[in-house]
Amino acid sequence: MISLENVTVEFDQRRVLDDISVTLAEKRIGIIGANGSGKSTFARLLNGLQTATSGTVRIDDFDAAHDGRKLRRHVGFVFQNPDNQIVYPVVEEDLAFGLKSLKLPKAEIDRRIDDILARYGLFEYRSHPSHLLSGGQKQLLAISGVLVMAPRYIIFDEPTTLLDLRNRNRVERAIAELDQTVITVSHDLDLIADYDRVLVFENGKIAVDDTPANAIPKYRKMMA
């Protein structure tokens, strides 16, 4: 369970999130809002990439202010541009990157890498240069890099923005199949249309908190 209490985030005196209190227990949560509404900052709070100026952020037993390191293993984060989160030149090296810091034995690292590559049809690309993958394959590799760490929650920040329709659909399917709790920040309203709950951000506050069936039409009206 994720719970925020009176969370405020300020950058250079500018209030980006304004006294947010919310509890999230659903399996699929969508976050939408205009650029600069605070939605990305909200997502970054959840895995400790951003610290709150005031208030508390709790995820299960972890307090974001004190357990930053553990929180990052508990909450994975997939970014918009896979090119910026694949850090090794070869596919399997990149997947091993996070696992090495978990101090797992070599056999376990190999097993997890095999499993994840098979899952996304990337098995034949195991020792392939990562920059030669297609955009969709790169995003699946980025997701794999997070999944091998076996987090309980995964946050997606605009995961489909840079993809063509076919790859967008592949990534949508990949997200739908996840066992983890998923929090997706997106401008792609179809992506979150069958989620359990949608939060609409506006000027650093949660303006709408409802089911997608209700929240999305309200958001469309707000943006008209």
Partner 1 sequence: MIAGLYIDGHSALHRAQAGLKVLALIALGTGVFLISDWPVLGGVLITVLALYPVSGFGPKILWAQIKPMIWLLILFFVVQLWLNDWQAGLVVILRLAGIVLFAGLVTLTTKTSDMLAALERALMPLARFGVNPEKVSLAFSMVLRFIPVIAHVGHEIRDAQRARGLDKSIIALIVPLIIRTLKMADDVADAIEARSFDPE
Binding interface with partner 1 (CB under 8 A): 47, 49, 69, 72-73, 76-77, 79, 81, 83-90, 93, 97-98, 100-102, 129-131, 145-146, 149
Question: Do 113 and 141 meet the contact criterion of CB atoms below 8 Å apart?
Answer: no
Residues 180, 114: Cα–Cα separation, whole Å: 20
Which residue number, 113 or 198, has a Cβ lying nearer to partner 1?
Answer: 113
Which residue number, 51 or 211, has a Cβ lying nearer to partner 1?
Answer: 51
Contacts of 174 (CB under 8 A, 6+ apart): 120, 140, 143
Question: Do 160 and 152 meet the contact criterion of CB atoms below 8 Å apart?
Answer: no
Q: What is the nearest approach in angstroms of partner 1 to the Cβ of residue 149? A: 7
Using alpha carbons only, give the angle 29, 83, 98 rounded to the nearest 5 degrees: 70
Q: Which residues pair with 202 in a beta bridge?
A: 205
Q: What is the nearest approach in angstroms of partner 1 to the Cβ of residue 96? A: 11
Which residue number, 75 or 215, has a Cβ lying nearer to partner 1?
Answer: 75
CA 201 to chain centre: 17
Q: What is the nearest approach in angstroms of partner 1 to the Cβ of residue 182? A: 15
Q: What is the nearest approach in angstroms of partner 1 to the Cβ of residue 56? A: 21
DSSP class per residue in 99-138: HHHTT--HHHHHHHHHHHHHHTT-GGGTTSBGGGS-HHHH
Which residue number, 138 or 197, has a Cβ lying nearer to partner 1?
Answer: 138
- DSSP-derived letter for residue 90 is B
Q: What is the nearest approach in angstroms of partner 1 to the Cβ of residue 18? A: 23
HSE, side-chain direction, 13 A CA sphere, residue 54: 6
Q: What is the nearest approach in angstroms of partner 1 to the Cβ of residue 154? A: 11
Contacts of 124 (CB under 8 A, 6+ apart): none
Which residue number, 7 or 133, has a Cβ lying nearer to partner 1?
Answer: 133
Which residue number, 61 or 224, has a Cβ lying nearer to partner 1?
Answer: 61
